[in-house]
Amino acid sequence: MSRAELLSMTGLTLQVALVATAFALPFALALAYTLARRDFPGKPLVQALLALPMVLPPVAVGIALLLALGRRGPLGPLWSLLDVELVFSWWAAAIAAAIVGFPLLVRACEQAFADVDPRLERVSRSLGVGRWQTFWRVTLPLARRGVLYGVVLAFSRALGEFGATAIVAGILPGRTETLALGIYSRVQLGDDAGALTLCGASFVLALSAMLVAETWLRRPRRRFEGPGA
């Protein structure tokens, strides 16, 4: 396996994971904040549905995505109208990774928001700062650590995503072949040395992400987590 091949596969993996996380984050923040602050009928159902991508076989998630994104699925006319071909593109890989990592992200953010005293938000609003500004100036800064933890978790999950991606994005060298897919296809072809090299690359990526999480997020408690936080 060439060095260029390895680099492009690693690059694609990072690209997919980054786009997936960035794409999932705003939705996760909105949903997590709602879950942390509001009670509404059907909340347990929403939370159960939310956990599904985590507990379903990834292959099943892939099939569902194939239906949703494919031109022959129920949304097919829409994709035809917009003239986009998502299936078997790296976008599909990113979407698959986003969906599989979404529950992790929402859980971490929900917990982080729940830990922020809602009375601080009330004080902020009483000082003339609206709900939206209050979220950016009070809630998010105070929940920052938990949100970042969720981001790292979802990103790491996206790095290793295989099942759903293989179904909806295929294993197309140079286009959708991420490290996880590459390892599988090397093993299928009997290229054990290549598979091991890619395993090594995966190992380095995953370890780096986790190192960031451990060193960055487990730093001594910062000032704003003192008494009263």
Partner 1 sequence: MSANAIRARVTRRSFQLELDLAWDERVLVVFGPSGAGKSTLFEVVLGLHPDARPLVRIGGTLLDDPDLRRRTPLERRGLGWVPQDMLLFPHLTVKENLRFGVARSSGSRPLMGSGSQPLLETAIEVLELGPLLARRVDEISGGERQRVAMGRALASAPRALLLDEPLASLDLALRARVLPYLLRVRDELDLPILYITHDPDEAMIVGDRAVVIDAGRVVADGPPARVLWSRAVLPLSEALGLENVLEARVLETATDHLIARTPGGLRLTVPCPTPLAPQHTLRLGLRAQDILIAADPPGRISARNVLDARVVTLETATDGVLVHVDAGEPLVAKITRAAADALELAPGARVHLVIKSQALRRLA
Q: Does 219 bind partner 1 (CB under 8 A)?
A: no
Q: Does 129 bind partner 1 (CB under 8 A)?
A: yes
Return the residue of 42, 74, 128, 220 that touches partner 1, per CB under 8 A: 128
Q: Which residues contact 194 (CB under 8 A, 6 or more apart)?
A: 1, 182, 186
105-124 positions binding partner 1, by CB under 8 A:
117, 119-120, 122-124
User: How many residues does this entry show for the chain?
Assistant: 229
141-180 positions binding partner 1, by CB under 8 A:
141-142
Closest CA to 135 of 41, 6, 24, 32: 32
CB neighbour burial string for 8-36, b if at least 16 within 10 angstroms, e if fewer:
ebbebbbebbebbbebbbeebbebbbebb
Q: Does 221 bind partner 1 (CB under 8 A)?
A: no
From the list 32-40, 77-85, 133-141, 199-207, the region that binds partner 1 by CB under 8 A is: 133-141
CB of 126 to partner 1, least distance (A): 4
- Measured from the CB atom, the residue of 3 and 219 that comes closer to partner 1 is 219
Q: Which amino acid is at 44?
A: P
81/207 Cα distance (integer angstroms): 43
The size of the interface with partner 1 (CB under 8 A), counted in residues, is: 25
Both tokens of 173, joined, read 């060298």
Return the residue of 125, 170, 172, 206 that touches partner 1, per CB under 8 A: 125
Q: Name the site residues for partner 1 (rule: CB under 8 A).
A: 117, 119-120, 122-131, 134, 137-138, 141-142, 223-229
